[in-house]
Amino acid sequence: MSEETPCTGPSPCTGPSPCTGPLDHNLLRACNKHFRAAAPDVPLGPAHPGAPPSPGRRRGPADSAAGTMRQPAVRLVWMGRVPYAELLALQERWLRRLQAESGTEALSGTEAGALLLCEPAGPVYTAGLRGGLTPEETARLRALGAEVRATGRGGLATFHGPGQLLCHPVLDLRHLGLRLRTHVAALEACAVRLCELQGLQGARARPPPYTGVWLGERKICAVGVRCGRHITSHGQALNCSTDLTWFEHIVPCGLVGTGVTSLSKELQRHVTVDEVLPSFLEAFKETYKCTLISEDGSN
Residue numbers annotated as active site: 253
Question: What pLDDT digit, counting tens, does each position of 94-130 carry?
Answer: 999 999 887 655 444 678 999 999 999 999 999 887 7
Inside any domain, residue 27: no
147-195 confidence digits (pLDDT tens) = 998 887 877 789 999 999 999 999 999 999 999 999 999 999 999 999 9
C-alpha separations of 253 from 103, 215, 249 in Å:
35, 17, 12
Question: In the sheet that 158-160 helps form, which strands lie side by side, from edge to edge?
Answer: 147-150, 124-127, 158-160
CATH code of residue 206: 3.30.930.10
Residue 136 in domain: yes
User: What is the 8-class DSSP label of residue 124?
Assistant: E
Q: Classify residue 130: in a domain, yes or no.
A: yes
Q: Which residue range is the domain that position 83 belongs to?
A: 3-12+77-290
pLDDT at residue number 131: 65
| Residue 256, pLDDT score | 62
- Which residues lie across from 74 on neighbouring strands? 113, 292
Q: According to the model, what pLDDT value does residue 113 have?
A: 95
Does residue 85 belong to any structural domain of this protein?
A: yes
Q: Which residues of the chain have pLDDT under 70?
A: 1-69, 103-109, 131, 252-257, 295-299
- The pLDDT value recorded for residue 12 is 31
pLDDT reported for residue 229: 87
CB distance 202 to 212 below 8 Å: no
Q: How many domains does the chain have?
A: 1
**What integer pLDDT is reported at residue 151 of this predicted model?**
86
Residues 54, 231: Cα–Cα separation, whole Å: 19
- How large is the angle between the packed helices 273-288 and 180-197, nearest 10 degrees? 130
H helical segments located in 13-143: 61-67, 84-100, 104-107, 135-143
For residue 60, the model assigns a pLDDT of 41
Position 203 in a domain: yes
pLDDT at 257: 65
Residue 69 forms part of a structural domain: no
Burial of 287 (0-12, 13-18, 19+ CB in 10 A): middle
Q: Give pLDDT, residue 58.
A: 39
